Amino acid sequence: MLFLGWPLLWGGQFFHLIAEEWSPDRGLYGIFPMVTGSIAIALPALCISLPISLGTSFVAATLAPPPLRRGLLTMVRFMAGVPTVIYGFVAVFLLVPFMREQITGGSGLNILTASIILALLIAPTMIVFFVDGLSSVEKGSCLAVDALGGTKVQKLLYLQLPQALPAIVAGMVMGLGRAMGDTLISLMLAGNSIAIPHTAIDSGRTLTAHIALVIAADFASMEFKSIFAAGIILYVFASVVVVLLRLLTGMSMRRAG
Amino acid sequence: MLLPLFVSISQSSKKGGGMRSLGKSVLCSVLFCFIAGVAYGDDFDIFAGQQGMLKIAGGTAHIPVMKEVAELIMTSNPEIRITIAGGGTGVGIKQVWEGLVDIGNAGRLATDEEIAAHKLFMVKWAIDGVGVVVNPKNRVTDLTGQQLQDIFSGRIDNWREVGGEDRPINLYDRDASSGTREVFWQEALKRSEVAKKANVVVSNGAMKTAVAGDPYGIGYVSVGHIDATVAPVALDGVAPSLANVKKGSYGVARGLYSLTKGEPAGLAKAFLEFLLSPTGQKIAMDKGFISVQ
């Protein structure tokens, strides 16, 4: 990617590309609207997904009786296995008309729609992380809380949650990475317009969707080169997420050891 | 490749009742494919005994057809290698007269000077027409060219202004690499700017799904793709139908041309003949173009 993207980096066009707007008819190939689009879709998705995932993991890790816990975890794992395109397809026929008629107006294809479905998509990943974190608290400490007469809720809030904090942060980073990297949901639901989004009901295009849309352009064109700029930014983002993840898991290991 | 499949099926059919009927039906379908292949075989006769390398470059709209045709030819005759590159109409014409490629694809007629100066030979093998479509619930069935340009540039943003309901217009556009968009942008929008807030979809199929699901949407698809799920909009009184495009009365269309330097010969000649054969024309129609036959 660096090799193919090198002419861009070398010519100083790279920073141009990041800052400019996208208008091939006028010879502008900037990917700034897509960078904002990616962030504007991934962050709200995380914000919607976090409370849901936390709540579900509380129930699945401790609060519910064991049979229900197992059922819940099975369902979450099943959700994680559903292909992305199914979520997108169902949303196109159910959520999009609902958004158009009831909430946002316009075409129903917008950042909010995409964020909601992305939140649903990244929730299982986060829940699995959270549940692992919450249930890997030392047995001795749990018994101690029980011996002191602490309730389940007290145990969760004062022992398990602080202990599982690194796992929760790791899950969030993982979820954000997935939301940022997902192509199909934003391609199908976000509308892919090239305007910089200003509100949640604007249509927007993510970096990944941009790559998917422009990949058919011929190899020598500037459009095609801009894909590499988009790829580099995504790659940098993914690397940052992985490094963060490593650091956080390292921290939690040290704490446990 | 067929033989191992055949063997494995006949083995599995020995195992028991359920498997046997399944095996038989698979066998039948395999045989059917084989027979269908033979029936199509006639058009490939022109490639018998041919061999070598054929280089093709140019218009991007041609690529889906070229790819499929090339695959079929290379499968039927492994001695032939065909490479296909994009680059656009300009590249196609330039490279064919420079002798860099054997066949150059163009989405427009080569100019008289180009033809005279380089002795180009041109074959038109399909027509690409693009029609404006709206949701079938929409009352608007006719727009002028100017209205269309105003709608896509965002100057008209409510259906009321063109005789529809009092609802905002949702624009659906294609990505810049789309051949369909190129025709639409040049011939219908006269190269005027498209509003940035337009939603962008990935294919003719996705465009139909989007417009079919959005009562206030407007988009455009290749004429070959128009069906009952969307309503075609007449442009300056002319409906985008296959018949009108063929007659030449519907303007948002262009021919798909392939050019050679001088009279085509050998492999290039066979390739162009195949494009015009029933099989070649059927592939072009499958990809949403209009047959010239």
Pairwise CA distance, residues A213 & A205, whole Å: 10
Mean pLDDT of chain A: 85
Picking from B143, B251, B107, B127, the residue whose alpha carbon sits closest to that of residue B190 is B251
What are A126-139's pLDDT values in tens digits? 999 999 999 888 88
**Tokens encoding A42:** 């991934």
Position B133 scores a pLDDT of 94
The residue to which tokens 């502008």 are assigned: A28
ipTM for the complex?
0.78
Radius of gyration of chain A (CA): 21
Give domain limits for chain A. 29-256
Q: Among residues of chain A, what percentage have pLDDT more than 70?
A: 90
Q: Is the pLDDT of residue A219 over 70?
A: no
pLDDT tier, A142 (very low <50, low <70, confident <90, very high otherwise): confident
Asked if B177 and A202 come within 8 Å (Cβ–Cβ), the reply is: no
Q: How confident is the model at residue A217 (pLDDT cuts 50, 70, 90)?
A: low
Picking from B88, B170, B197, the nearest residue to A218 by CB comes out as B88
- Residue B35 is predicted with a pLDDT of 44
CA distance between the termini of chain A: 39
- pLDDT at residue A151 is higher than 50: yes
- Residue A224: closest CA among chain B residues belongs to which residue? B177
* Range name among A65-74, A190-199, A216-225, B25-34 with the lowest pLDDT average: B25-34
Nearest to A217 among B176, B213, B214 (CB): B176
- The confidence score (pLDDT) of residue B34 equals 47
Q: What per-residue confidence (pLDDT) applies to A215?
A: 74
Whether A192 has a pLDDT exceeding 80, the answer reads yes
Query: Could you tell me which of A191, A199, A201 has the C-alpha nearest to residue A102?
Result: A201
Answer yes or no: do A219 and B88 touch at CB < 8 A. no
**Nearest CA to CA, how far is B222 from chain A (Å)?**
17
pLDDT at A5: 66
Give the model's pLDDT for residue B30: 47
Residue in A108, A212, A218 nearest the CB of B87: A218
CATH of the domain spanning A29-256, picked from 1.10.10.10, 1.10.3720.10, 3.40.718.10, 1.20.120.140 = 1.10.3720.10
**Amino acid residing at B148:** L
Chain A residues whose CB is inside 8 A of the B185 CB are: 25
Chain B contact present for A24, CB below 8 A: yes
Tell me what pLDDT residue A230 has: 87
Distance CA B255, CA B183 (A): 10
* pLDDT at site A62: 83
Residue among B36, B32, B124, B45 nearest B77 (CA) = B45
Q: Using the beta-carbon criterion (under 8 Å), do A195 and B197 form an inter-chain contact? A: yes
Six token digits for residue A167: 């796992």
Confidence of residue A212 (pLDDT cuts 50, 70, 90): confident
pLDDT along chain B (293 residues), means of 10: 38 41 48 46 77 86 87 90 82 85 85 82 89 92 92 92 89 82 87 88 86 91 86 92 85 88 88 91 86 81
> B216 to chain A: nearest residue by CA?
A107
Helix/strand/coil for B232: strand
pLDDT at A253 over 80: no
In the block, tokens 């899950």 appear at A171
The dihedral built from the CA positions of residue A174, A175, A176 and A181, taken in this order, carries a sign that is positive
pTM above 0.80, yes or no: no
* pLDDT, tens only, A8-21: 666 666 777 777 78
